[in-house]
Amino acid sequence: MMFNTLGLPAPLVQAVRAAGWSEPTAIQSKAIPVILQGNDLIGNAPSGSGKTGAFLLPGFARLLDGPQKLRALVLTPTREHATQVETHARDFARFTELRVGISHMGAPLVVQEKMLRDQGVDVLIATVDRLLELHERKAMDFEDVEILVLDEADRMVDMGQATDIRKLLKLLPETRQTLLFSASMPAELNRLAKEALIEPVRVDLTSPQPSTGITHAIYQVPKHLKIQLLDRLLSRSGEVRSTIVFTRQREGADRLARQLERLKYAVATLHERKSQTERERAMEDLKRGRLQIVVTTDLAARGLELAGVAHVVNFDVPPTPEDYVHRIGRAGRPDAQGDAFTLMAPEEQRHLAAIERFVGRAIPRVLLPDFDYLLKPSQIQQTAIYDDERVRARKAALAKNPYLQGRQTMPLAGTPRPSANTQRHRAAASASSRPKPAASAPAVARMKPKGIAVKVNPVAKPVVKPAPVKPVTKKAAVPKKPAPKKAPPAKNKK
Ligand code: AMP
């Protein structure tokens, strides 16, 4: 199915194309026609399912012809979520006259009052507390509101916003259309829905899980060893391709991209400050194999069509479960196959529990058998010396590839599999160097929870012999002995 078969007007179909979306997601194809007909709707849809488009596109379609007044309100539980919705809204409004605004407690009240007074908005994305405050200060009224969206309504109720929502409902015209999107329907939300909606059509998406075609794994690792572990993970399958690495902050993304470049990966950063065209080009290069890795933040990757990405790596544990599903959802279009690795430092453990609760299952913890988890920060410089050998080998391999000459790029489509001989050779080399499970290994769950394909790296890579130790920088201490090649893995608490 295509967007232009859903009954959306041309400027919106054009905006969807410009965003790089080719086909509607399940929630979009089900909800858009229902909303276009003017029905109230309850959409059971988690983050990452494309629900924002499912309400914004038909909502905008209904507002296209009409006076310039505040006619649609989108309520979100948090200011962060409001910002995400606003970005989509601005993208969709770009070929229309619709004016989009945002309002939440994080922005100065006077600035928002000025925006409402001087510019006016047709669609306001807001948190309920700020809306009520603006109303009390007589900065706005709601008498022309035709559409109310309650987005992530279960989170709003969880966060104690039900009372404020009820106050707001009393201020809105009864004739409005109300759309409620939620990943779950707790009792309190059911009660609220009965008060807010009239004969709603229900659209249920069956599973709040990330795609089952994706292999999920958590790699527990001290923070200072994350880059080393990532390098091992990336290089263990021989060819690195189509990988997107998420970090929380832009600065972290830049730093990581520089480190990966030094390790001779063909890498780009998706920057919030880069234009949509530049970002789309980077993604195209990734898909075509001209880039191996794109490092990005949630904010920068928003609005990009990332379907087809084979590997998603969370360099940091995402701060909220929704972010996790969101990131994985990018690779995990319903029929997608791929890996989703999360590198977790001990201090990030608390975020993981919330993620596992949200997705309703445990995510397997995996150890790389030949990785030295006990390496101290002071020893890393030395490892870098013998890692250099791998890097040199990688550089040499890349240089032989005609696609990469001068560009550090490699082909994606039809990436040749290693020959049978190479595979045998690798297997033999690995078998001889495969470490015995360390005493603490059982502490790491090698479990296979229902519905998740567990991928414990089965074979250690051949251990590369340390090169003669040379000081790399003045600061780097030169140990008398090379660091131990193998040390027992850290005791990872589940
Ligand atoms: P949402 O669930 O609305 O937060 O969307 C999750 C992610 O999927 C966002 O990054 C959207 O840009 C992306 N997305 C939503 N709908 C589509 C679509 N039809 N095609 C491709 N990507 C989409």
Q: What are phi and psi of 55, to 5 degrees?
A: -105, -30
Single-letter code of the amino acid located at 413:
A
* pLDDT for the residue numbered 232: 86
Q: By the 8 A CB rule, do 62 and 33 touch?
A: no
Closest CA to 155 of 185, 133, 195: 185
Give the separation between CA 241 and CA 416, rounded to whole angstroms.
Answer: 12
* pLDDT for the residue numbered 58: 97
Give the separation between CA 98 and CA 92, rounded to whole angstroms.
Answer: 9
**Cα of 49 to ligand 1 centre, how many Å?**
6
* pLDDT for the residue numbered 331: 46
Task: Write the CA distances from 167 to 170, 176, 267, integer angstroms.
Answer: 5, 16, 50
**Cα of 333 to ligand 1 centre, how many Å?**
10
Give the separation between CA 344 and CA 366, rounded to whole angstroms.
Answer: 11
Pairing of strands 123-126, 41-44: unpaired
* pLDDT for the residue numbered 470: 41
Give the separation between CA 38 and CA 402, rounded to whole angstroms.
Answer: 56
Buried b (16+ CB within 10 A) or exposed e, 121-140: bbbbbbbbebbbebeeeebb
Give the separation between CA 245 and CA 247, rounded to whole angstroms.
Answer: 7
Give the separation between CA 134 and CA 114, rounded to whole angstroms.
Answer: 11
Give the separation between CA 372 and CA 486, rounded to whole angstroms.
Answer: 6
364 lines ligand 1 (CB under 6 A): no
* pLDDT for the residue numbered 393: 62
* pLDDT for the residue numbered 264: 85
Q: By the 8 A CB rule, do 66 and 9 touch?
A: no
Nearest CA to ligand 1 atom 19: 24
H helix or E strand, kind and range, residue 409:
none
Give the separation between CA 190 and CA 177, rounded to whole angstroms.
Answer: 17
Q: By the 8 A CB rule, do 212 and 371 touch?
A: no
**Residues with pLDDT less than 50, the chain:** 206-211, 331-335, 382-386, 401-494
Single-letter code of the amino acid located at 61:
A
E strands in 141-184: 147-150, 177-182
Atom nearest to 45 CA in ligand 1 = 2
Tokens of 195: 């008060």
Tokens of 327: 């990131």
* pLDDT for the residue numbered 336: 52
Q: By the 8 A CB rule, do 90 and 100 touch?
A: yes
Give the separation between CA 144 and CA 171, rounded to whole angstroms.
Answer: 11
Q: Where are the alpha helices (DSSP H) in 417-459?
A: 420-433
Structural domains of the chain ordered from first start: 3-204 (3.40.50.300), 209-366 (3.40.50.300), 369-431 (no CATH)
* pLDDT for the residue numbered 233: 84
**Cα of 303 to ligand 1 centre, how many Å?**
7
Task: Write the CA distances from 308 to 328, 334, 338, integer angstroms.
Answer: 12, 11, 9
Tokens of 443: 């502490």
- List beta partners, residue 214: 338
Q: What angle do CA 58, 64, 67 make, to 5 degrees?
A: 130
Ligand 1: which of 1, 5, 52, 74 to mutate, judged by most atoms within 8 Å of the beta carbon? 52
Ligand 1: which of 4, 16, 21 to mutate, judged by most atoms within 8 Å of the beta carbon? 21
* pLDDT for the residue numbered 297: 84
